[in-house]
Structure 1
Amino acid sequence: MRIIKTILFVASVILSPMINASQNSPIPMLEQTANNIIATLKENKANLKSNPNIVYQAVETNLLPIVDVAGMSRSVLGRQAWSKATNSQRAQFSKAFTRLVIRTYSSPLAQYTNESIQFLPLRGSLNSRFLRVNSIIVRAEGQNIPLSYSLVAQNGQWKIYDISVEGVSLLQSFRSQFAAALQNSSIDEVIKLMEKKQLKRAS
């Protein structure tokens, strides 16, 4: 759970304005998204812990539109389970997973302490469907943390489908959380498990 909080904390950091990216680079999109969230956090800093809905709304409004939640849902559920699920179960799973993503991304944001992030030079072709953006979280105290965004091009827009911190994948972390439940329970039970996790994060 600690590693997920570390992974998702990156959504709250201020992205470095020093990047000289091309028009098709995803970096300006990531920068704008993070800056919008940071503005909300700074404006409401005194109330973040007592009113988590402030953070939830900031994440849902700014970050969620650039996350490939649908693709992540299919990946976490797995090809076999997804193919066996009914349309109703797929919709329910995606809805529950979306709420879980919002809660998971939001949970560490109240702990924001002016961290920043510096991007490394982009590698690979911007014409590729998949792209990885490597960066470093710069901390006021302690060691800096390597961070990677995995993005996919969809309809002319880059979308995040995974985030890795120190080589640990958020997507893999979600998969491992639900792997046993998917093997031993029905999809409906997995959805209930996800909803319980949301309630736990919200408490």
Structure 2
Amino acid sequence: MSFPSFPRILRRAIGPCLLGAALLLSASAGAAERTADPKAAPNDFLEAVANNMLDAVKADPKALQGDPAHIADLVRRYAMPYVDMSKTTRLAAGRYWRQASAAQKDALVQAFTGTLIRTYSGAFTRVTSGTQISLLPFRGDPKAQDAVVRTTISQPNSSPIGVDYRLEQTAEGWKVYDLNVEGIWLIQNYRNQFASEINRSGIDGLIAALNTKK
């Protein structure tokens, strides 16, 4: 089984030279790493994480050469600590999450994490000096438990792409758990595909499918 819809939308949003929808913001390579404070205002938090991620990619020769394993390591270091993959996976699994054993839940989170890292690592190979991601004015309540941070991705000779990030306030501060590319939310897209695979081959079948997806 494959999970084509969201990765395809992601690649279309990227375009031939456009950076994928990830926790990035345009910045000059070599800038000093910023402190990403999960307890700051949502836009400030995301901006710091984003700048650090893009700086790391632009400053790393192997990443700029498109080395997927190397880029995946950068994603794990700079982006994944600020993503709540347990919540993302639980919401994507929907009602089937309650049917899973503790071991299956752990395995599903790990498998889905690997799928998303592979998806975004492929996007990071398209970083160029012309890539820019801008934060839009924050519309919500920064003291709320749930917030949406809106961004636009732009590239010369391409139309801007809107990408929204949904964050939850946790005991550790803000965590990203969902994103919207071109009007399609990641969790909703994968929920339909997860349900289809679970109905066909069970939860273990879904875990196997995610682990074999390259």
Please, which runs of 5 or more residues in structure 1 have no aligned partner?
Answer: 18-22
TM-score of the two chains, using structure 2 as the length reference: 0.81
Q: How much has 1:46 moved relative to structure 2?
A: 5.5
Q: 1:79-98 counterparts in 2 under 5 A?
A: 79=95, 81-98=96-113
Is 1:72 aligned to residue 85 of structure 2? no
Aligned pairs for 1:105-116 within 5 A: 105-114=120-129, 115-116=131-132
CA, structure 1 residues 64+149, in 2 after alignment: closer, same or farther (shift >3 Å)? same
Structure 2 unaligned spans of 5+: 1-6, 29-38
Structure 1 segment 1-203 matched on structure 2, within 5 A: 1-5=7-11, 6=13, 9-11=20-22, 13-15=24-26, 24-45=40-61, 48-49=64-65, 51-79=67-95, 81-114=96-129, 115-197=131-213, 200=214
Q: Deviations over 1:89-133 (max 9, x none)?
A: 111111111222221221110011231122221112112111111
Q: 1:152 to 1:16 in 2, by over 3 A?
A: farther
Using the TM superposition, name which of 107-116 and 187-196 deviates more.
Answer: 107-116
SS in 1 for 2:79: helix
Consecutive aligned runs of 4 or more in structure 1 exceeding 6 Å deviation = none
SS in 1 for 2:179: strand
Residue aligning to 1:20? none
Deviation (angstroms), 1:48: 4.3
Distance 2:154 2:67 in 1: 27
